[in-house]
Chains A and B, each alone.
Chain A
């Protein structure tokens, strides 16, 4: 079974400071990992994903995430936060079995982390 945890319900950071939103996952095979952002009263927007290869993934709006297999983590980061980054962030995982090509169509989401960037 696949699962994902976002240990922080809320993260507060001052504008201009670096930000980190944490995510850990659990899968029985290989993980496909995703970050999405949700602004108030809107649908989710894709930020970035890890499929394979380089552990540091760069995405939209200056965000990046680092895949750490030993710690089963995929933390979202940004060097300098903007007030406009304030939103709800979701980590998601889907497992994939490389040896068979099979995997889960279901994308499992974390509960979300509310990011507030303070001017």
Chain B
């Protein structure tokens, strides 16, 4: 199993450009999440999904959109990138068998710089 994979690993954007980050998991997990990690701030939840075709806002959703058209994929979009979105982005997934008690499995991250 590859676990949780993220593409790309690195990206540099100019202000106003758009891009999509792809997260894929091969563990048949129901729940998927997108976080951003900034120095001294821990991880903050951007959006999450509890199943194919469903998404919900997390703590810091502004400026981002997501889609979960297939169970194994969770896409994070930036329509018009801003320097404040410079961060490391992590995708995670978890099964639903234990509900909220299940741990999350994280991808390796995408380092995004917006100039």
Name A's B-contacting residues (CB within 8 A): 9, 32, 34, 36, 41-46, 49, 51, 90, 94, 96, 103-107, 109-112
Interface assignment of B2: CB less than 8 Å from any CB of chain A: no
Which among B42, B90, B103, B104 is the interface contact of A111 at CB below 8 angstroms? Answer: B42
Contact B103 A43 (CB under 8 A): no
Q: C-beta contact mask, B72-115 vs A, less than 8 Å → 1, else 0?
A: 00000000000000000010100000011101111111000000
The answer for the CA separation of A104 and B100 in the assembled complex, in Å, is 7
Answer whether A43 and B43 are a contact pair too, CB < 8 Å, given A105-B100, A106-B58. Answer: no
Which among B45, B50, B58, B100 is the interface contact of A32 at CB below 8 angstroms? Answer: B100
Interface assignment of B4: CB less than 8 Å from any CB of chain A: yes
**A101, closest chain B residue (CB):** B99
Interface size bucket, B side? Answer: 20 to 34
Contact A111 B40 (CB under 8 A): yes
Contact A34 B107 (CB under 8 A): no
List the A side residues contacting B62 at CB < 8 Å.
Answer: none
Which among B31, B42, B48, B59 is the interface contact of A110 at CB below 8 angstroms? Answer: B42
The answer for the CA separation of A106 and B50 in the assembled complex, in Å, is 11
Most buried by B among A45, A96, A111: A111
List the B side residues contacting A105 at CB < 8 Å.
Answer: 31, 48, 50, 56, 100
Contact A49 B43 (CB under 8 A): no
In the complex, besides A46-B105, A105-B50, A110-B42, 10 extra interface pairs with C-beta distance below 8 angstroms are A36-B106, A41-B109, A42-B108, A44-B92, A46-B104, A96-B101, A103-B99, A103-B100, A106-B48, A107-B104
Which among A9, A44, A96, A106 is the interface contact of B106 at CB below 8 angstroms? Answer: A44
Contact B103 A51 (CB under 8 A): no
The answer for the CA separation of A12 and B92 in the assembled complex, in Å, is 29
Shortest distance from the beta carbon of B112 to any chain A beta carbon, whole Å: 14
Answer whether A112 and B104 are a contact pair too, CB < 8 Å, given A43-B90, A43-B109, A106-B48. Answer: no
Shortest distance from the beta carbon of A37 to any chain B beta carbon, whole Å: 11
Contact A90 B58 (CB under 8 A): no
Contact A90 B42 (CB under 8 A): yes
Question: Can you list 30 A-B contacts (CB < 8 A)?
Answer: A9-B40, A32-B100, A32-B101, A36-B106, A41-B109, A42-B109, A43-B4, A43-B106, A44-B43, A44-B92, A44-B106, A45-B106, A46-B103, A49-B101, A51-B101, A90-B42, A94-B100, A96-B101, A103-B99, A103-B100, A105-B48, A105-B50, A105-B56, A105-B100, A106-B45, A107-B45, A107-B104, A109-B43, A110-B42, A111-B42
